[in-house]
A and B are shown apart, each in its own frame.
Chain A
Amino acid sequence: MSDVLVDVDGLKVHFPIKRGIVHDRTVGYVYAVDGVDLAIRRGETYGLVGESGCGKSTLGRAVLRLSEPTAGRVVFDGTDLAQLSGEPLRRMRRRMQMVFQDPLSSLDPRQSVQSLLVEGLRAHELDRGAEATAARLRELLDVVGLPANALRRYPHEFSGGQRQRIGIARALTVEPDLIVADEPVSALDVSVQAQVLNLLEDLQAQFGLTYLVIAHDLAVVRHIADRVGVMYLGGIVEEADADALYTEPRHPYTRALLSAIPVPDPEVEDRREQILLTGDLPSPAAPPSGCRFHTRCPWRQPSRCDTERPPLREIRPGHRVACHYAEDIAAGRITAPTGLSASRG
């Protein structure tokens, strides 16, 4: 058995932009995911961070083959998911599950918690008699910390945190190996986020789960992930162990992103050096040439950056960066023009 559970290789997901009244013409593509390589090891938590529109959710769905990849492969435990369809794919779904951002909209409002949970068991012939099923459901509720009387109630009768617990319980019904959690806590109240994060950690320890956690909140990802990939406009720009990424970010975008997060401590806030990026995220339908980040990069160089797309290369064992000048910037040989870097207070 190999160490790698999910191997993503050259994955691209392009959505056609269609226009036309009678016949739909394709007038362009949204390059949501545009060439991603990553490997998720068995039992680890891989964190994927990026801002809205960077393609992280699409990547998560493509890993589960809920989005059709345009090119590339997703190999799950030795099986190329792109080759599967119909019944074999449906069978495969038992082993990989998803936890959604909005716990309310991802739970069918007309189904009681019981029927939501039983559904997965039924789909994969895991329900073995009424008694065994009832015991299994009680166990699941207990595991995610919901009261036993939850079964006969409906999603809208629960608080946000509890709904997310229902969603997690549903994912657990089929005893998966991989759980893709797309913004699992961002819709929750601050005080409840920690409950769900702790729960996810406990479940991983208990069931040996592998996680792909997708989030825009770098602090959340840092907390939960072992390894982190930073996405920008459809591609991974930096990937490293969580500690290395946060202490020694090498890609200019990662540095800007990290410097932009407010910390709940006035002492830190007063001293925090910020790299304020100018402008907005370019449209993924018309990504910039060369390095996708060059339009906003404070360390942009006149040559190469706007013509040649930097590959994700390993600069240290386990630390990959997609920047032509990562070493030069780290060594201080290239500095950002003044005025772009601002300190607060």
Chain B
Amino acid sequence: MALLEVDDLSVVFTRKGEQPVVAVDGVSFDVDPGQTVGLVGESGCGKSVTALAIMGLLPRRGVRVSGSVRFDGTELLGLPAAAMRDRRGRDLGMVFQDPLSSLNPVVPIGLQITEVLERHRRTPRKKAMVQAGDLLTRVGIPDPRRRLDEYPHQLSGGMRQRALIAMALACRPKLLLADEPTTALDVTIQAQILALLAELVRAGDTDLGDTDLGDTALVMITHDLGVVAGLCDEVNVLYGGRVVERGPRHPLFAAPHHPYTVGLLASVPRLDGPRGQRLSPIRGSVSDNIPWTSGCAFAPRCPNVLGACTSVTPEMEFGPDERLLRCHNPVPAPQEVRA
């Protein structure tokens, strides 16, 4: 059974006297224990809001959340606030893009980690401090004993993100949601953090003592296709608040079928590609002017657009290669082109 089942999740922001804004428009995906699932998309595709909805971190007022989020067999949507708080930090951990604003600036790092342990595991303060030190070591922070007493501003960006990951992992959550965890960091630091995340998720069979983090599932939210290519077992490509293509990373990157996925891949310069080749961008820009209600949201930017694309909303169906796809006119696999 899947650890996390998100089914037809929708999030609508309503503001008095204004048009409601649909941020997430029926997103569905599953995460198995120990699996790494990627949510990829550009700004406004609803990937961050999806994570906040799963964590129950959206404000209660002015937001309509519908659909279903089942975690370990329990429906999370509509769970009382107190029950949700118990889950957060214990079963569900989250790492944000900006580690500085996600840490309390006036509380030492150590105390922020032990707080989680004390609250969810009733670990006594002294023992929790020892565990916090082990956690910092685990996430690669040198000299952890000293760091425990330091405040977030005394740490570098990469160290803060490590501390945040340590906090999220303190109670050995079954699921870790990482929302653009490396976007604010430099490439060399990004490489460190990604290696750390990959290691934490895949550390299932190694003995790591008290900080054994086996079978933690990871939901990786990012705009960076490179990050996804290296890390995720299953990839969901989002556009306009819906998943438009899903598949295991190898076939998905080898033969993307949705014109948006194809376009995204063609529009980023690659380090290993031939130089001097012109990029083929997707025309236009992300716009919420045409929703999914009548036709495909990507139609205005799509090079493969058909008549049906602007009148009939495409459903999530099995496309070529048994891959899930939301498109009337998918791009054929490269070998089919050659044939």
- Asked whether the complex places CB atoms of A and B closer than 8 A, the reply is yes
Bound together, the chains give a CA A13 to CA B190 distance in angstroms of 28
Q: How far is the CA of A277 from the CA of B190 in the complex (A)?
A: 11
Given A191-B42, A264-B265, verify A162-B270 contact (CB < 8 Å). no
Q: Give the contact stretch, choosing among B70-78, B100-108, B131-139, B192-200.
A: B192-200
A216 in the interface, Cβ–Cβ < 8 Å? yes
Q: Check A262 against B267 for contact (C-beta < 8 Å).
A: no
**8 A Cβ contacts from B17-49 to A:** 42-43
- With contacts A159-B287, A198-B278, A280-B156 taken as known, whether A262 is within 8 angstroms of B230 at the C-beta atoms is yes
Q: Closest approach, in angstroms, between the C-beta of B109 and any C-beta of chain A?
A: 16
Residues A248-274 near B (CB distance < 8 A): 256-270, 272, 274
CB distance from A33 to the nearest CB of B (A): 18
A160 at the interface (CB under 8 A from B): yes
Nearest CB on A from B36, distance (A): 12
> Does B285 belong to the interface (CB within 8 Å)?
yes
- Which A residues lie within 8 Å of B249 (CB)? 266
Q: Write the nearest CB–CB distance from B312 to chain A, whole angstroms.
A: 24
Chain A proximity of B218: nearest CB distance (Å) = 15
Would you list which residues of chain A between 214 and 259 have a CB under 8 Å from chain B?
216, 218-220, 222-224, 242-243, 246, 256-259
Q: When A and B form their complex, what is the total count of cross-chain residue pairs whose Cβ atoms lie within 8 Å?
A: 149
Interface digits, A314-345 against B, CB 8 Å rule (1 contact, 0 not)?
A: 00000000000000000000000000001011
Q: Which residues of B contact A162 (CB under 8 A)?
A: 285
Q: How far is the CA of A88 from the CA of B292 in the complex (A)?
A: 57
Asked whether, in the complex, the Cβ of A261 is within 8 Å of the Cβ of B267, the reply is no
Nearest Cβ distance between residue A24 and chain B, in whole angstroms?
23
Contact of A190 (CB < 8 Å), options: B42, B157, B270: B42
CB distance B268 to A190 under 8 Å? yes
Asked if B271 is at the interface of the complex by the 8 Å CB criterion, the answer is: yes
Question: Given the known A-B contacts A266-B249, A272-B230, A344-B198, are A198 and B281 also in contact in the complex, defined by CB atoms under 8 Å?
Answer: yes
A160–B271 touching, CB < 8 Å: no
Q: How far is the CB of A298 from chain B (nearest CB, A)?
A: 12
CB distance from B261 to the nearest CB of A (A): 10
Considering the complex, give the chain A residue whose CB is closest to the CB of B232. A266
Q: Does B84 lie at the interface of the complex (its beta carbon under 8 Å from any beta carbon of A)? A: no
Q: Bound complex: CA of A281 vs CA of B189, how far in Å?
A: 9
Interface band, chain B: 35 or more
The reply to whether the CB of A197 lies closer than 8 angstroms to some CB of chain B is yes
At the interface, yes or no: B225 with Cβ under 8 Å from chain A? yes
Check if B65 is an interface residue, CB within 8 A of chain A: no
Task: Determine if A139 is an interface residue (Cβ-Cβ < 8 Å).
Answer: no
Asked if B250 contacts A267 (CB within 8 A), the reply is: yes
B230 engages A269 (CB within 8 Å): yes
Q: How far is the CA of A32 from the CA of B73 in the complex (A)?
A: 55
Q: Does A66 contact B (CB under 8 A)?
A: no
What 1/0 mask marks residues of chain B from 175 to 198 whose CB sits below 8 Å from any chain A CB?
Answer: 000000000001111111011001
A218 touches B187 (CB 8 A): yes
Instruction: List B contacts of A276 (CB < 8 A).
Output: 191-192, 195
B34 CB to nearest chain A CB (Å)? 16
- B229 partner, pick from A220, A269, A342, beta carbons under 8 A: A269
Known: A192-B281, A277-B192. Is A219-B186 also a contact (CB below 8 A)? no
B77 to chain A, nearest CB (A): 30
Instruction: Collect the chain A residues with CB atoms within 8 Å of residue B189's CB.
Output: 51, 280
Q: Who on chain A is nearest to B280 by CB?
A: A194
**In the complex, which residue of chain A has the Cβ closest to the Cβ of B159?**
A280
Question: Of B156, B187, B192, B230, which contacts A266 at CB under 8 A?
Answer: B230
B58 within 8 A of A: no
Is B124 on the interface with A (CB-CB < 8 A)? no
Q: Is B204 among interface residues, defined by CB-CB distance under 8 A? A: no
* A191-B263, A191-B301, A263-B230 given; 20 more Cβ-contact pairs under 8 Å: A159-B286, A159-B287, A192-B282, A194-B268, A194-B281, A194-B282, A216-B187, A218-B187, A220-B269, A223-B275, A260-B188, A263-B226, A263-B272, A264-B226, A264-B265, A266-B230, A266-B249, A267-B253, A269-B229, A276-B195
**What would 26 A/B residue contacts be, using CB atoms closer than 8 Å?**
A51-B188, A51-B189, A189-B43, A190-B267, A191-B286, A194-B268, A194-B269, A194-B281, A195-B267, A198-B281, A218-B187, A220-B269, A222-B275, A257-B187, A258-B271, A260-B188, A260-B191, A263-B270, A264-B226, A264-B265, A266-B230, A268-B229, A268-B272, A272-B230, A276-B191, A280-B189
A interface residues (Cβ-Cβ under 8 A, vs B): 51-52, 159-162, 189-195, 197-198, 201, 216, 218-220, 222-224, 242-243, 246, 256-270, 272, 274, 276-277, 279-281, 342, 344-345
